[in-house]
């Protein structure tokens, strides 16, 4: 289920595109607004939220879970019912966290991280962070509005420097464009993917991170320096 699947600077995620075109995965289409409302409904523990988003679009044709409801008030308006998207589990990466699970975002956009956590059941909500700091230090690098994740939403927290690589962790490092291009190129063939996987994925995390920091050759990608 996704509103879009992108690598940002590479508009279409090539491995996902191949999987869709080959029928290897089933895709349930969503508008980003409906996706947000579905997470919000799950977070609020209600079955759906009414919206005009999706009216007149092909989503009501292509996503059989989407239905309409009629307003119970005098207007009688027909609206889309965005169903609650209750997750099996949620795992998000933040800039800073304390040992209890309170966490901050240093970037300009917190995205849906808080909603993902709230939409997952208790016991299956986890946060990784670039650094775990004392609770009092959370506000040292960010304003109070950046404290988007509360310990009440979190069941486990772990320190994972570089955990967002190769994507960005705004405020700490930017997207690794070289690595991303290499990843995208690995979708050209099964052999290219296997070579990429053997080099970068089938290795211990510490080896992966060390290689990103200290490339072994001139063609290897490197993570942007932390600010």
Q: What is the pLDDT of residues 157-179, one digit of tens each?
A: 999 999 999 999 999 999 999 99
pLDDT of res. 111: 87
Mean pLDDT of the chain: 91
Q: What is the pLDDT of residues 94-125, one digit of tens each?
A: 999 999 999 999 988 888 999 999 999 999 99
d(CA 174, CA 186): 22
User: Given CA atoms 25, 30, 36, 38 in this order, what sign does their dihedral have?
Assistant: negative
Question: Which residue ranges make up each domain of the chain?
Answer: 14-83, 90-159, 175-227
d(CA 66, CA 50): 11
């Amino acid at each position: 289920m996704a509103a879009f699947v992108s690598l940002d600077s590479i508009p279409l995620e090539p491995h996902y595109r191949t999987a869709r075109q080959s029928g290897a995965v089933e895709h349930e289409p969503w508008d980003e607004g409906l996706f947000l409302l579905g997470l919000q409904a799950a977070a609020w523990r209600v079955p759906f939220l009414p919206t005009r988003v999706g009216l007149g679009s092909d989503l009501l044709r292509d996503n059989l879970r989407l239905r309409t409801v009629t307003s119970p008030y005098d207007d009688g308006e027909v609206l889309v019912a965005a169903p609650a998207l209750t997750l099996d589990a949620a795992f998000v990466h933040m800039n800073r966290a304390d040992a209890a699970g309170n966490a901050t975002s240093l970037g300009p956009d917190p995205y849906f991280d808080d909603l993902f956590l709230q939409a997952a059941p208790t016991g299956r909500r986890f946060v990784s962070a670039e650094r775990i700091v004392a609770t009092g230090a959370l506000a040292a690098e960010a304003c109070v509005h950046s404290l988007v994740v509360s310990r009440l939403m979190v069941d486990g927290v772990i320190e994972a420097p570089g955990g967002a690589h190769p994507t960005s962790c705004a405020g700490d490092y930017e997207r690794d464009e070289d690595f991303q291009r290499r990843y995208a190129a690995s979708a050209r063939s099964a052999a290219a993917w296997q070579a990429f996987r053997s080099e970068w994925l089938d290795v211990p995390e510490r080896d992966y991170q060390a290689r990103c920091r200290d490339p072994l050759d001139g063609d290897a990608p490197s993570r942007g320096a932390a600010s």
